[in-house]
Amino acid sequence: MTPRRAKIAAVGTCVPERVVTNDDLSLTLDTSDEWISTRSGIRRRHIAADGQAASDLGSVAASRALAAAGVSPAELDLIIATSISSDMPFPATASLISGNIGADGVPAFDLSAACTGFVYALAAANAFIASGQAAKVLVIGAEAVSKMIDWTDRSTAVLFGDAAGAVLLAPVAEGETGIIGFDLGNDPGGAGQLSIPAGGSRLPASAETVQERQHFIKMNGREVFKFATRVLASSAGKVLDQHGFRVEDVDLFIPHQANIRIIDAAARKLGLAPEKVFSNLENYGNTSCASIPLCLDEAARAGRLKAGDLVLMVGFGGGLSWGSCLARW
């Protein structure tokens, strides 16, 4: 059997209403708009309301992707969600979203690969379609990361934002190319550089873990920065090589939105023209698993992503993990 090719058939997103600027943060933290914007490129981020969880944002994004595709929830074969801020350890956020969007009976599971989750989930969905096990697969990156932030830690609090992005994957039509390939990787030696240490079976919740603020994101920013700059360029180069493309062939490069300095350094290493690099982190911060679909949606709406364009998406994050996806839009 020839594997079926899959394409991204539609995108939907959702950001919470509340906008928090760098100046707002500097009222409660020893930081400044100048430090945050020059060190990271971030100027503002959206923050979920009290009681608003990852699945709430993910459900809206999912319904919007389905509406854009003209597909009903009952037609779905599979739902994969990915998040570093799942509603709870279990059941899966994908299951909660399926209930919210009216996809009863549709298989639903979560995939965990930290901020690289979206690219890994695309790869999993692509494999389900290629093998004929599914035709219409919804992939959702849903984040209410603000709930996992230590708002007294200026080294992480200024970086993240909340959002969700969903894509519908479906088999290509005659003559379409769709998803071309992936490069996925992981460096377990860096597991301690970026994590939420407590709340799992290694360090179960206790009065001490709460007091020591171990339930929040901990990051060694400098080490993650070095790793990210390296893998963004190397993984992008690898997936291009594997499929016989050159950097000049890329129409739009969509990297995970963590820091504009990481993005610029990787683009320089790759030799990519600045106009081919998409970035919107100025307005959203690092939205983890939602950052790439949020960019896809904005780029398509802005006319920077047109049918037939070669798009290169690259994610990275905890693990330390990385993943690239090359596709024809």
Q: Residues interacting with ligand UT7, by CB under 6 A? A: 31, 35-36, 39-40, 115, 154-155, 158, 221-222, 224-225, 228, 258-259, 262, 286, 288, 317
Is the preceding omega at residue 73 within 30 degrees of 0, hence cis?
no
| CA–CA dist 33, 72 (Å, integer) | 44
CB of 80 to ligand UT7, least distance (A): 20
Catalytic residue among 46, 286, 289, 325: 286
Report which of 158, 219, 156, 161 is spatially closest to residue 190, judged by C-alpha positions.
Answer: 219
Let me know if 256 is a catalytic residue: yes
DSSP run (H or E) holding 326: strand 321-328
Instruction: CB nearer to ligand UT7: give 118 or 329.
Output: 118
Residue with the closest Cβ to ligand UT7? Answer: 221
Return the structure tokens found at 227.
């790793």
Bridge-based pairing of strands 252-255 and 310-317 is parallel
DSSP run (H or E) holding 108: strand 108-110
Instruction: CB nearer to ligand UT7: give 251 or 282.
Output: 282
CB of 109 to ligand UT7, least distance (A): 22
Instruction: CB nearer to ligand UT7: give 73 or 323.
Output: 323
Instruction: CB nearer to ligand UT7: give 56 or 143.
Output: 143
CB of 161 to ligand UT7, least distance (A): 11
Catalytic residue among 14, 22, 46, 115: 115
Torsion of CA 85, 91, 93, 99, to 10 degrees: -150
Let me know if 286 is a catalytic residue: yes
Instruction: CB nearer to ligand UT7: give 65 or 114.
Output: 114
Mapped onto helix, strand or coil, the DSSP state of residue 142 is strand
Q: Which residue has the tokens 């959203």?
A: 284
Question: Which residues is 167 bridged to in the sheet?
Answer: 11, 139
| CA–CA dist 143, 255 (Å, integer) | 17
Bridge-based pairing of strands 44-46 and 78-82 is unpaired
CB of 117 to ligand UT7, least distance (A): 10
**Contact, 309 vs 184, CB < 8 A?**
no
Instruction: CB nearer to ligand UT7: give 35 or 109.
Output: 35
Mapped onto helix, strand or coil, the DSSP state of residue 105 is coil
CB of 298 to ligand UT7, least distance (A): 18
Q: Which residue has the tokens 């090359």?
A: 326
CB of 106 to ligand UT7, least distance (A): 29
Catalytic residue among 126, 256, 289, 325: 256
Let me know if 115 is a catalytic residue: yes
**How many helices and strands (H and E) does the chain possess?**
11, 13
* Residues assigned a catalytic role: 115, 256, 286
